[in-house]
Amino acid sequence: MKFTLKVWRQEGPTAKGRFETYEAPNISEEMSFLEVLDVVNESLIREGKEPVHFDHDCREGICGSCGMMINGQAHGPQRGTATCQLHMRKFDDGATIVVEPWRAASFPIVRDLVVNRSAFDRIIEAGGFVSVNTGSAPEANMLPVPKQVADAAMDAAQCIGCGACVAACPNGAAQLFTSAKLQHLNLLPQGQSERWQRTESMVETMEEYFGTCTNHGECETACPKNISIDFIAYMNRDYIKAKTVNRKLSGQGLG
């Protein structure tokens, strides 16, 4: 297979970006998209040119490092798939593929396809901690969790923080990411002690960096882990309750 890649190149955050065109011949249909970028970079290095910078780590769809817009779609044309898991058999032989970084004000470009996603870190930091008593391991059945609740918590915990939801959203909103990180704790008994403070802090930190959700649903479509937008509704419910509970705990709601 042979492909033509139009890749966004930008030397730094304040530099003017541009598209550059590269040929990728002799590509196996079993290769991942990141492996094709490796092939392009090997050719550039042999020519004494600067390789294309892009994020990657595990290349197994777990770490959330990889992420780019491929033909205008976050992570490319296959649903439920991170960029590192996208195989070239999903493209037509001879196709021209446009590759861009995440386009979101909250994710400023560092270089080429690399963006700064530290705004996600601020949201996680705002969540604080979870209280867990130390000592011997508790009996497994001492904290009964209904299967439906456990399954929902595990679904939320699949979020890898790649940022596709933000990049795909017309508003640059991060509600899907934040709600997933909240609900995998809020749904379980171990997460109840800090539930309301955690919810208020994480949601309000999110609002400092990201846009507002208007239910386009693009986030769910782009998510490589198929996380449901139902979690956004759960987060909104918890946030409303958290404002009341936290006021009472601080004494503002008394008298």
Q: Are residues 70 and 87 in the same domain?
A: yes
Position 255 scores a pLDDT of: 44
pLDDT in tens, 153-184: 999 999 999 999 999 999 999 999 999 999 99
> Rounded distance, CA 191 to CA 100, Å?
38
Residues 39 and 103 placed together within one structural domain of the fold: yes
Please tell me the least confidently modeled range out of 12-16, 68-72, 145-149, 251-255: 251-255
Residues 157 and 200 in one domain: yes
Q: How is residue 10 written in tokens?
A: 């930008």
Task: Among 63, 87, 111, identify where a domain stops.
Answer: 111
Mean pLDDT value of segment 142-163: 93
Residues 91 and 151 reside in one and the same domain: no
Can you say whether residue 27 is alpha, beta or left, with left for phi > 0 and alpha for psi between -120 and 50 degrees? beta
pLDDT digits over 73-122, tens only? Answer: 999 999 999 999 999 999 999 999 999 999 999 999 999 999 999 999 99
Query: What's the rounded mean pLDDT across residues 25-40?
Result: 97
Shared domain for 237 and 133, answered yes or no, is: yes
- In the chain, alpha helices (H): 33-46, 118-126, 147-157, 164-168, 175-186, 195-209, 218-222, 230-250
Give the domain extent around 185. Answer: 117-250
- CATH number (domain holding residue 170): 1.10.1060.10
Q: Do 67 and 150 belong to one domain? A: no
Same domain, 92 and 210: no
Instruction: Dump pLDDT digits (tens) for 188-228.
Output: 988 898 999 999 999 999 999 999 999 999 999 999 999 99
Q: 74 and 140 share a domain?
A: no
What pLDDT, on a 0 to 100 scale, did the predictor assign at position 87?
97
Last residue of a domain, one of 81, 111, 141: 111
3-9 vs 96-100, strand pairing mode: parallel
Same-domain check for residues 43 and 126 = no
Mark whether 167 and 95 lie in a shared domain.
Answer: no
How many folded domains does the chain comprise?
2
Report the CATH number that the domain containing residue 60 is assigned in CATH. Answer: 3.10.20.30
Is 255 a domain residue? no
CA distance 189 to 192: 6
pTM: 0.92
Identify the three-state secondary structure at position 239: helix
